Structure 1
Amino acid sequence: MKQAFTLILFLASLQLSAQIELKIIDNNSNLPLENVRVKSQGSPILSTDSNGIVSIPKDETIKFSFALEGYESFETTFGPGKHEVRLSPISINLAAVTVSAFESERPILEQSASISLVSEKDFSRFNETSIVNSFNTKPGIRIEERAPASYRISIRGSSLRAPFGVRNVKVYWNEVPFTSPDGTTALNLLDLTNIRTAEVIKGPSGSIYGAGNGGVVNLKSQANPNGGRISTDFMTGSFGLKRFRLGISQQVGAGGFEASYVTQKSDGYREQSAMDRKVFQLGSYFPVSEKQEIRTQLLISDLNYQIPGALNADQLAEDPTQARPGSVAQNSSIAQQSVFASMAQLYKISNRAKNNTVLYLNTNDFENPFNLDYKKELGFGYGGRSTFTIDSKLGGKDLRIIAGGEFQTSFTEATNFGNRGGVADTIRFADKLRATQGFLFQQAEWQGSEKLLMTVGLSENFSSFEIDRQIDATGGPLGVQTRTFDPIVVPRFAFNYQLNQYSSLFSSLSSGFSPPTIDEVRTNEGSLNLDLEAEKGINTELGYRLGKERLNIEATTFYFQLKQTITTYTNEQGVVLFRNAGATDQKGIEVAIDYAILQNNTGFFSDLKVGTAFTGHYFKFKDYQKQDNDYSGNDLTGVAPNTVVSRIDLRTAPGIYLNFTHQFTDKMPLNDANTVYQDSYNLVNLRFGWVKWIGKAWEIEAFGGVDNLLDESYSLGNDLNPFGGRYYQPAPTRNWYGGIKVGFNY
Structure 2
Amino acid sequence: MHIRTLALFPLAALPALLHAQTNPAPPESDGGSLAPVVITGSGSAEQRWRGAATVDVVDGTELRAGQLQINLSEGLARVPGLVIRNRENYAQDLQVSIRGFGARSTFGVRGVRLFVDGIPASAPDGSGQAANFPLGSADRIEVVRGPFAALYGASSGGAILAYTQNGTRPGELRVGAALGANGLWRLSTQATGQTGTAEAPGWSYTLDVGKFATDGARPQSAAHRSTANAKLSRAHDGGRTTLVFNRQSAFALDPQGLSRTQLDAGTPLTTPQAIQFNTRKSVSQTQAGLAWDQALGNGHKVELMGYAGQRRVIQFQSIPPGVQGAAGSSGGVIDLDRDYWGFNARWRLQREWQGGQLDLSAGLAGERQTDLRRGYENFVGGTVGVRGTLRREETNQATTLDPYVRASWQKADWTLEGGLRRVNARYASSDAFLTNGDQSGGVSFNGYLPVVGVRWQLAPQLQAFASTGRGLETPTLNEAAYRSDGGAGLNTDLNASRSTSTEIGLRGRNAAGLWNATLFDIRTRDEIVSAGTIDGRATFTNGGSTKRQGLELSAEYGMGNVTLTGAYTYLRARYGSGTASIPAGNRMPGLPEHQFFSQLAWAPAFASGIGGVFTLEARHTGSVFANDANNRTTALAESHTLFGIGARFEQTTGAWTWREFVRIDNLTDKKHAGSVIVNDGNSRFFESGLGRSVSAGVELTRHF
Cα distance, 1:530 vs. partner?
2.5
What amino acid sits opposite 1:261 in the alignment?
V
Q: Is the CA contact (8 Å cut-off) linking 1:569 and 1:721 kept in structure 2?
A: no
CA distance in 1, matches of 2:277, 2:137: 33
Cα distance, 1:635 vs. partner?
1.7
Match of 1:481 in 2: 441
Match of 1:513 in 2: 472
User: How many matched pairs?
Assistant: 636
Of the candidates 631, 637, 642, which is equivalent to residue 594 of structure 2?
A: 642
Whether 1:197 aligns to 2:140 is yes
Matches of residues 107-146 of structure 1 in structure 2 within 5 Å?
A: 107-120=47-60, 121-146=62-87
Q: Is the CA contact (8 Å cut-off) linking 2:346 and 2:363 kept in structure 1?
A: yes
CA distance in 2, matches of 1:742, 1:371: 44
Q: Is the CA contact (8 Å cut-off) linking 1:541 and 1:559 kept in structure 2?
A: yes
Of the candidates 173, 187, 207, which is equivalent to residue 259 of structure 1?
A: 207
Cα distance, 1:489 vs. partner?
1.0
CA distance in 1, matches of 2:211, 2:403: 39
CA distance in 1, matches of 2:257, 2:333: 18
Which stretch of structure 1 is more off in the superposition, 122-131 or 634-643?
A: 122-131
CA distance in 2, matches of 1:424, 1:265: 25
Whether 1:277 aligns to 2:217 is no
Cα distance, 1:647 vs. partner?
0.8
CA distance in 1, matches of 2:652, 2:129: 37
Q: Aligned pair in 2 of structure 1 residues 122, 191: CA closer, same or farther (>3 Å)?
A: closer
Q: Aligned pair in 2 of structure 1 residues 439, 735: CA closer, same or farther (>3 Å)?
A: same
CA distance in 1, matches of 2:397, 2:310: 14
Matches of residues 514-533 of structure 1 in structure 2 within 5 Å?
A: 514-522=473-481, 528-533=490-495
Of the candidates 593, 611, 615, which is equivalent to residue 659 of structure 1?
A: 615
Cα distance, 1:237 vs. partner?
1.6
Q: Is the CA contact (8 Å cut-off) linking 1:109 and 1:547 kept in structure 2?
A: no
Spell out, residue by residue over 1:592-632, the C-alpha distance to the aligned partner (whole angstroms, 9 max, x if none). Answer: 0111011xxxxxxxx31002111000111100212xx5511
Q: Aligned pair in 2 of structure 1 residues 374, 630: CA closer, same or farther (>3 Å)?
A: closer
Cα distance, 1:144 vs. partner?
2.2
Q: Is the CA contact (8 Å cut-off) linking 1:225 and 1:249 kept in structure 2?
A: yes
Matches of residues 139-538 of structure 1 in structure 2 within 5 Å?
A: 139-149=80-90, 150-205=93-148, 208-253=151-196, 254=201, 255-287=203-235, 289-318=236-265, 320-350=267-297, 352-372=299-319, 373-420=332-379, 421-447=384-410, 449-474=411-436, 476-477=437-438, 480-485=440-445, 487-522=446-481, 528-538=490-500
Whether 1:609 aligns to 2:545 is no
Matches of residues 565-644 of structure 1 in structure 2 within 5 Å?
A: 565-568=527-530, 570-571=532-533, 575-598=537-560, 607-626=561-580, 629=581, 631-644=583-596
Match of 1:699 in 2: 657
Q: Is the CA contact (8 Å cut-off) linking 1:205 and 1:216 kept in structure 2?
A: no
Spell out, residue by residue over 1:278-312, the C-alpha distance to the aligned partner (whole angstroms, 9 max, x if none). Answer: 0011211111x231211111111001112111111
Q: Is the CA contact (8 Å cut-off) linking 1:334 and 1:367 kept in structure 2?
A: yes
Q: Is the CA contact (8 Å cut-off) linking 1:126 and 1:686 kept in structure 2?
A: no
What amino acid sits opposite 1:638 in the alignment?
G
CA distance in 2, matches of 1:178, 1:129: 17
Whether 1:685 aligns to 2:639 is no
Q: TM-score, normalised by structure 1?
A: 0.82
Cα distance, 1:213 vs. partner?
4.3
Spell out, residue by residue over 1:450-486, the C-alpha distance to the aligned partner (whole angstroms, 9 max, x if none). Answer: 3121112111110011111111443x126x311122x
Q: Aligned pair in 2 of structure 1 residues 201, 77: CA closer, same or farther (>3 Å)?
A: closer
Q: Aligned pair in 2 of structure 1 residues 438, 516: CA closer, same or farther (>3 Å)?
A: same
Q: Is the CA contact (8 Å cut-off) linking 2:66 and 2:662 kept in structure 1?
A: no
CA distance in 2, matches of 1:259, 1:272: 33
CA distance in 1, matches of 2:597, 2:250: 31
Q: Aligned pair in 2 of structure 1 residues 725, 667: CA closer, same or farther (>3 Å)?
A: same
Cα distance, 1:206 vs. partner?
5.9
Cα distance, 1:152 vs. partner?
2.2
CA distance in 2, matches of 1:510, 1:410: 28
What amino acid sits opposite 1:284 in the alignment?
L
Spell out, residue by residue over 1:80-106, the C-alpha distance to the aligned partner (whole angstroms, 9 max, x if none). Answer: xxxxxxxxxxxxxxxxxxx99733646
RMSD: 2.2
Corresponding residue SS for 1:107? helix
What amino acid sits opposite 1:108 in the alignment?
R
Cα distance, 1:146 vs. partner?
2.0
What amino acid sits opposite 2:576 in the alignment?
K
Cα distance, 1:569 vs. partner?
5.3
CA distance in 2, matches of 1:207, 1:570: 29
What amino acid sits opposite 1:187 in the alignment?
A
Q: Is the CA contact (8 Å cut-off) linking 1:412 and 1:433 kept in structure 2?
A: yes
Q: Is the CA contact (8 Å cut-off) linking 2:87 and 2:94 kept in structure 1?
A: yes
CA distance in 1, matches of 2:405, 2:137: 30
Which stretch of structure 1 is more off in the superposition, 224-233 or 404-413?
A: 224-233
Corresponding residue SS for 2:102? helix
Cα distance, 1:687 vs. partner?
2.1
What amino acid sits opposite 2:225 in the alignment?
R
CA distance in 2, matches of 1:240, 1:230: 27
Match of 2:522 in 1: 560
CA distance in 2, matches of 1:387, 1:141: 30
CA distance in 2, matches of 1:326, 1:207: 40
Corresponding residue SS for 2:74? helix
Q: Aligned pair in 2 of structure 1 residues 647, 339: CA closer, same or farther (>3 Å)?
A: same
Corresponding residue SS for 2:263? helix
Q: Is the CA contact (8 Å cut-off) linking 1:270 and 1:320 kept in structure 2?
A: no
Q: Is the CA contact (8 Å cut-off) linking 2:589 and 2:626 kept in structure 1?
A: yes
CA distance in 1, matches of 2:314, 2:95: 19
Corresponding residue SS for 1:729? strand
Spell out, residue by residue over 1:537-585, the C-alpha distance to the aligned partner (whole angstroms, 9 max, x if none). Answer: 0011101111222121100001000110012354376643322110001
The structure that has the greater radius of gyration is 1
Name the % identity. Answer: 21
CA distance in 2, matches of 1:293, 1:659: 41
Q: Name structure 2 gaps, 5 residues minimum.
A: 1-24, 29-34, 320-331
CA distance in 1, matches of 2:340, 2:602: 46
Structure showing greater relative contact order (alpha-carbon pairs closer than 8 Å, 6 or more residues apart): 2
Q: Name structure 1 gaps, 5 residues minimum.
A: 1-74, 79-98, 599-606
What amino acid sits opposite 1:136 in the alignment?
A
Corresponding residue SS for 1:328? helix
Q: Aligned pair in 2 of structure 1 residues 527, 276: CA closer, same or farther (>3 Å)?
A: farther
CA distance in 2, matches of 1:569, 1:669: 17
CA distance in 2, matches of 1:398, 1:225: 30
What amino acid sits opposite 1:592 in the alignment?
S
